Structure 1
Amino acid sequence: MTETRSTCPYCGLGCGVIIESKGKQITGVRGDPDHPANFGRLCSKGATLHLTASAAITAQARLLQPLQRLHRGGATQAISWNSALNLAAERFASTIAQHGPDAVGFYISGQLLTEDYYVFNKLAKGLIGTNNVDSNSRLCMSSAVAGYKQTLGMDAPPTCYDDVAHAGTIFIVGANPAYAHPVLFRRIEEARQANPNLKLIVADPRRTDSADVADLYLPILPGTDV
């Protein structure tokens, strides 16, 4: 059996995992006790991560080559990568020729690197001539960016996990880490046990699991949290 250290791909907590594999098949995943993000802890999704790599699942979910559907509702047929790329380029070119560059757009992943965003923007704005480039990074993080800059002065949370143990007050706004980030919430629970004076404040339209254990719950009106 081979063991490989890696990072859980799910939420942004960045938990370290140790992947157990036999040949090309992943057989198990456990938390990395030496990783500073989680110290071996995993949530239910992380602990069952290896199940998504089972042969039965990957055979159904992983696409190994391009598929083309000749007409809506019809069966797909395998084509080569060159054919798929040529088809995409031809469709883009014909649409632009008929309707102009603003008839096409790019909606790209929030998981791309900065360099990848640069390439897509150069392709859209520099080559095609359209500003129609968007991603879930803007839709998901625009309110967070505004909040960070107004309250903390920068477009990033200028903290680290170790700060939880030294905090006097923790203010959670529109998030439910007790449910969504349980590994991080364990840190908050431990910090409260070590420091009974630590106050936890939660602002959320819904009374979440995090709000249930807060010292102060602020039930803001639905629709006013965005």
Structure 2
Amino acid sequence: MTEPISTTCPYCGVGCGIRATVAKGAVEISGDPSHPANFGRLCSKGSALGETTDLDGRLLYPEIAGQRVGWDRALDLVADRFGELIAAHGPDSVAFYVSGQLLTEDYYVANKLMKGFIGSGNIDTNSRLCMSSSVAGHKRAFGSDTVPNAYADFEQASLIILTGSNAAWCHPVLYQRIVAARAENGTRVVVIDPRRTQSCDIADLHLPLRSGTDAHLFNGLLAW
């Protein structure tokens, strides 16, 4: 058994601290009790992280029509198909939708290929899809794309508002902190969501707005 390695769970944005230990060829995962995000707690995904480290079910080499082929043949096929489409319909007939887990250098190369070489602006990422509205709001409100709060605020807050967020399912470790803050400090919880989710179980007030009317609520709060 190796010495535990402190690292971070890669799944959601909570960033829980984990400790990974290699024993008998397998990776054992436990929560890091000293990490300020989760204090040793893990959700079901984080707890099962060790099961994702083996090679079973992974694509380890290129395949065409289910048959293993060499990299040269696979790359030639992709390039030929792209070339045929662009020749017939122009550069805007192709697009890239890339992962939110890429590194900055990977994004640069992908954008260079699509915009600089192919000549199209048709490239988007999960990062922009998820965070573009947040970035715009932070820059207008604070002048920078910087999240202005910290997890420790949960224990200090007298009111927590969940807007369109089912934290009980999506961020269960943080949800546990909200539950604890409510029990220990009397923190009030408001959930703004058209659906009644599990997060509503601890809500002092649930506002089930009709879809598309949330802007009216927020504009009203600004004017109140």
Q: TM-score range by the shorter chain?
A: 0.7 to 0.9
Q: Secondary structure at the match of 1:10?
A: coil
Distance 2:104 2:53 in 1: 28
Q: 1:49–1:206: structure 2 CA closer, same or farther, 3 Å change rule?
A: same
2:198 matched residue in structure 1: 209
Q: Residue 30 of structure 1: CA displacement?
A: 0.9
1:193 matched residue in structure 2: 183
One of 170, 174, 178 as aligned partner of 2:164: 174
Q: TM-score, normalised by structure 1?
A: 0.83
Q: Residue 129 of structure 1: CA displacement?
A: 0.6
Deviation above 6 Å: which 4+ runs of structure 1? none
Query: What letter matches 2:183 in structure 1?
Result: Q
Distance 2:143 2:183 in 1: 31
Q: Secondary structure at the match of 2:79?
A: helix
Aligned identity (percent) is: 54
Q: Residue 150 of structure 1: CA displacement?
A: 5.5
2:109 matched residue in structure 1: 119
Is residue 65 from structure 1 mapped to residue 61 from structure 2 by the alignment?
yes
Distance 2:74 2:61 in 1: 10
Whether contact under 8 Å (2:95, 2:122) holds in the other structure is: yes
Q: Secondary structure at the match of 2:178?
A: helix
Q: Residue 148 of structure 1: CA displacement?
A: 4.1
Q: Residue 39 of structure 1: CA displacement?
A: 1.3
**1:142-189 Cα distance to aligned partner (Å, 9 max, x none):** 344455455555444211111222222211100011222111112222
- Please identify, of 129-138 and 110-119, the stretch whose mean Cα deviation from structure 2 is larger: 110-119
Whether contact under 8 Å (1:18, 1:30) holds in the other structure is: yes
Distance 1:179 1:210 in 2: 8
1:52 matched residue in structure 2: 52
- Please identify, of 145-154 and 162-171, the stretch whose mean Cα deviation from structure 2 is larger: 145-154
Query: What letter matches 1:19 in structure 2?
Result: A
- Please identify, of 136-145 and 163-172, the stretch whose mean Cα deviation from structure 2 is larger: 136-145
1:129 matched residue in structure 2: 119
Distance 1:109 1:65 in 2: 20
Query: What letter matches 2:81 in structure 1?
Result: R
Q: 1:153–1:162: structure 2 CA closer, same or farther, 3 Å change rule?
A: same
2:35 matched residue in structure 1: 35
1:19 matched residue in structure 2: 20
Is residue 158 from structure 1 mapped to residue 154 from structure 2 by the alignment?
no
Whether contact under 8 Å (1:4, 1:19) holds in the other structure is: yes
Is residue 88 from structure 1 mapped to residue 78 from structure 2 by the alignment?
yes
Q: 1:152–1:178: structure 2 CA closer, same or farther, 3 Å change rule?
A: farther
Distance 2:191 2:143 in 1: 22
